[in-house]
Structure 1
Amino acid sequence: MEKNQVHVFAPATVANIVCGYDVLGFALDEPGDEVVIRRIDPPGVQLKEVTGDDGRLPRDPSKNTVSASVISFLNHIGRADTGVEISLHKHMPIGSGLGSSAASTVAGLFAINALMGHPLSRRELLPFALQGEELACGHGHADNVAPALLGGITLIRGYDPLDVVPIPAPPSLFASVVFPHVDVPTRDARQMIRAKVALKDAVIQWGNIAGLVAGLFAHDYELIGRSMRDVVIEPTRAILIPEFYEMRRLAMDAGALGFGISGSGPSVFAFTQHRDTATRITKTIQEYLTERGIESNGYVSGVNAEGPRELA
C-alpha cells in the first residue's frame, strides 16, 4: 500500500570493528538521521530542506546523497514521473566516522521504498545505498550502509557480486562511542593507508578477523576482545586522532573488551560486556578530552538489530 508521507530514522554505524577494514560494521541505537518524504503534484524529486548540517551538504538534488539515491530508486522501479519532496534532518555530526552519509542515504531509501508500497526488499536497496556512498566519499563501500540498512552486525564477504552476511551480536554486548571535535576527512584518511601490506601483518589481521567473527557467533567475550587488534590500518590512522592511545588506555583500564577507531575516525569506540561499563568509559574519555581542551559527543549503545524504522 502506497502512502502520502513517510518519516524515517536511520542509525549511525561503526565500520571496521577494528580489524575488519571495509568488511565489518554494526549499527548503533544513537545517534542517527531523519528523512521525511512526501508526495507532491509536480513530477520529479525536490530537496525541500536540509537541517543540522551548517550548510555543508549539497542542495542540488542530483548531488545530495539522499535525493540522488531516491532518483535512482524511482528510475529503477519505473516511477521516475513520481513527484516527491524530501526533508533531511541531520542529528549526527558530519565527518565523525559514524557513517553520517550512510545514515542519511539509508533513511531516504527506506522512506521512498515505504512511500511506494515496499516494491524492494532491504537487501535490494543496498546497491542504491552504495551509489550514495560513492557520491559522498568517492568509494562505494558497504561497511556503513549495510548495517545501517539491515541492522545488527554485518560482514561484507565480497563486492562482485555484493555478498552481505549477518553476524549475530551477543546479548550483552555494548558500545561506548566518543566523537572528538577534530577534523579527519574520510578521503584523507583513506589516502594515508598503505597500498601494500607485509604478509606477516596480513596473517595477523586474518587471524583477528576470523577470531572476532568466531567470538561473536560463540558469545565468547574474551575472544572478541583479544581479536580486536589492527596491525594494518590503525597505526596510520591513529596519527590523525589526538590522544588516541591515551583514550585506549583509559578504556581498557575501565574494563573495555577492546578499543579502536570507528570508520576513518575521529570517533573511537569500545566494546564492553555491560552497559554501565560502556557508560563509565564514555564519561571517562569525555572528561579526559575536556581537560585537554577538546570538545566531544558521547554515546552509549547496544547493537541496534532493527536498523531504520518509520516514525509517527
Structure 2
Amino acid sequence: MPDSIRVFAPATVANVVCGFDVLGFAVEQPGDEVLMTLRPDPGVSIRRISGDQGRLPLDADRNTVSASVQMLLRHLGREDVGVDIELHKQMPIGSGLGSSAASTVAGLWAINELLGRPLTALELLPFAMQGEELACGAGHADNVAPALLGGFVLIRSYQPLDVVRLPVPALHCAIVYPEVEVPTRDARRLIRRTVPLQDAVTQWGNVAGLVSGLFLGDTALIGRSMQDVLVEPVRALLIPDFYQLRELALQAGAVGFGISGSGPSVFAFAPDEAAAARIVEQLRRHLAGLGVGSRGYVSAINTRGPKVWG
C-alpha cells in the first residue's frame, strides 16, 4: 500500500431545483484536492490549506476533513494510524457547490485508500454526512452522496439512510458563481417550515417528473420538471437578478435553470458543451453589467466520484 496519496473530489449541485435535500449530482469541475501522507506516530493533523484565503481552521477537531478522518479511524479501531493532510481548495467556499462536501469526501477517500479500502463508498457516506454537519449545521447527503458515488443521486430516506443512483442524462452543465456571500445556514433559515398542500402537490409532481425524465432519457420532461415553488422563491432574493439570469439562460438554449444548493451559484442543463459555454458567457456578462464579479464552469456530469492521482 502507498504511504501517500492525492485525491480529487468533485463539486456537486444539490437540490436540482425541485429536489430540496433529496437530489444531487456531481460535476467534473471544479472540485477540491487532498494530499494525505501516513506518518509513524498516531494522530491526524492539517499541515497546510491553500486556496481558502485563511478562512478554514487548521485545528484537526474543527476542520471537516480531519474531523471526519478521525471519526473513521475511531470506527475502524485504527487510532494507531497517523496522517498529515494538505487541503487544496480549488473551488470557492460558500458557493453552493458543495465545497465542504468535496473536501470531506476527498479526505475520507484518501484515508480509506491508504488503509486498503476497508469500507465501500456507500459505507463512507455517514462519515461524510457528519463532516457536513460540522461545516453547515446539517448533515444532509445531497452534496456528499454524489461527490462520493458520482452521477445523479436520490436520497429516498434519511432514517434509515437509503440512497439511490439515478440514470445520468446526456447533458452538460453550465455553472456560474456570482461573487456574493450567501451562507448556507442563513439561506436555510429563510425556508418555510409549513407549506400549502397545493404547493406540496406541485413539488411532488415536479420531483417525480424529473426522476422519470432521467429514466426515460426525456430531455423535455427534465426541463419542464425543473420548477420549484417551495424554496427557490425565497432563495432567489439573495442572488443578483436571478430571474433575469434564468431568462437569459433559457434564451441561450438551457434545458432547465436553477439555484445550486443554497446559492449563490446558479446552474443550467444544456444539450452540449458549446451551449453550456454560451450560457456561462451570457450570465457572466450580465452580472458584470451589474458590477458583480463571477466565476464560470462548463462541465459534463461526473459519473465516477473521487479520482486518485497517486
TM-score by length of 1: 0.98
Mapping of residues 226-245 of structure 1, within 5 Å: 226-245=224-243
Whole-angstrom CA distance in 2 between matches of 1:46 and 1:227: 45
Secondary structure of the residue aligned to 2:60 is: coil
Whole-angstrom CA distance in 2 between matches of 1:197 and 1:103: 32
Whole-angstrom CA distance in 2 between matches of 1:302 and 1:91: 17
Whole-angstrom CA distance in 2 between matches of 1:81 and 1:49: 22
1:309 CA displacement: 0.8
Contact 1:3 1:117 (C-alpha < 8 Å) held by counterparts: no
Whole-angstrom CA distance in 2 between matches of 1:31 and 1:96: 11
Q: Read off the aligned partner of 2:126 and give its amino acid letter.
A: P
Match of 1:268 in 2: 266
Asked whether 1:169 is paired with 2:168, we answer yes
The structure 2 residue matched to 1:297, chosen from 292, 295, 298, is 295
Give CA deviations for 1:143-187 in whole Å, capped at 9, x if unaligned: 0000000000000000111100000112x2111100000010100
Match of 1:71 in 2: 70
Identity of aligned residues (%): 63
Contact 1:178 1:267 (C-alpha < 8 Å) held by counterparts: yes
Match of 1:211 in 2: 209
Would you say how many aligned residue pairs link Structure 1 and Structure 2?
A: 310
1:3 CA displacement: 2.1
Whole-angstrom CA distance in 1 between matches of 2:38 and 2:146: 28
Contact 1:3 1:116 (C-alpha < 8 Å) held by counterparts: no
1:255 CA displacement: 1.0
Whole-angstrom CA distance in 1 between matches of 2:15 and 2:238: 17
Mapping of residues 60-139 of structure 1, within 5 Å: 60-139=59-138
Whole-angstrom CA distance in 2 between matches of 1:64 and 1:291: 37
Give CA deviations for 1:199-227 in whole Å, capped at 9, x if unaligned: 00000000000000000111000000000
The structure 1 residue matched to 2:221, chosen from 218, 223, 241, is 223
Whole-angstrom CA distance in 2 between matches of 1:67 and 1:125: 14
Q: Read off the aligned partner of 2:135 and give its amino acid letter.
A: A
Whole-angstrom CA distance in 2 between matches of 1:263 and 1:250: 20
Secondary structure of the residue aligned to 1:246 is: helix
Contact 1:174 1:301 (C-alpha < 8 Å) held by counterparts: yes
Whole-angstrom CA distance in 1 between matches of 2:106 and 2:291: 34
Question: Where has structure 1 moved over 6 Å in runs of 4 or more?
Answer: none
Whole-angstrom CA distance in 1 between matches of 2:270 and 2:227: 15
1:190 CA displacement: 0.1
Mapping of residues 185-204 of structure 1, within 5 Å: 185-204=183-202
Asked whether 1:37 is paired with 2:41, we answer no
- Over the aligned positions, Cα root-mean-square deviation in angstroms equals 0.6
Match of 2:283 in 1: 285
Contact 1:65 1:136 (C-alpha < 8 Å) held by counterparts: yes
Whole-angstrom CA distance in 2 between matches of 1:124 and 1:64: 21
Give CA deviations for 1:72-109 in whole Å, capped at 9, x if unaligned: 11111111111110110000000000000000000000
Asked whether 1:182 is paired with 2:180, we answer yes
Q: Read off the aligned partner of 2:73 and give its amino acid letter.
A: L
Whole-angstrom CA distance in 2 between matches of 1:283 and 1:229: 23
Match of 2:3 in 1: 4
Match of 1:13 in 2: 12
Whole-angstrom CA distance in 2 between matches of 1:74 and 1:3: 18
Whole-angstrom CA distance in 1 between matches of 2:13 and 2:132: 15
Secondary structure of the residue aligned to 1:92 is: coil
Name which of structure 1's ranges 286-295 and 233-242 shifts more when overlaid on structure 2. Answer: 286-295
Mapping of residues 42-57 of structure 1, within 5 Å: 42-57=41-56
1:292 CA displacement: 1.5
Q: Read off the aligned partner of 1:66 and give its amino acid letter.
A: V
Give CA deviations for 1:261-299 in whole Å, capped at 9, x if unaligned: 000000000011111111100011011111211110000
Structure 2, unaligned runs of 5 or more: none
Contact 1:241 1:266 (C-alpha < 8 Å) held by counterparts: yes
Q: Read off the aligned partner of 2:240 and give its amino acid letter.
A: P
Secondary structure of the residue aligned to 2:124 is: helix
Secondary structure of the residue aligned to 2:67 is: helix
Structure 1, unaligned runs of 5 or more: none
1:46 CA displacement: 1.0
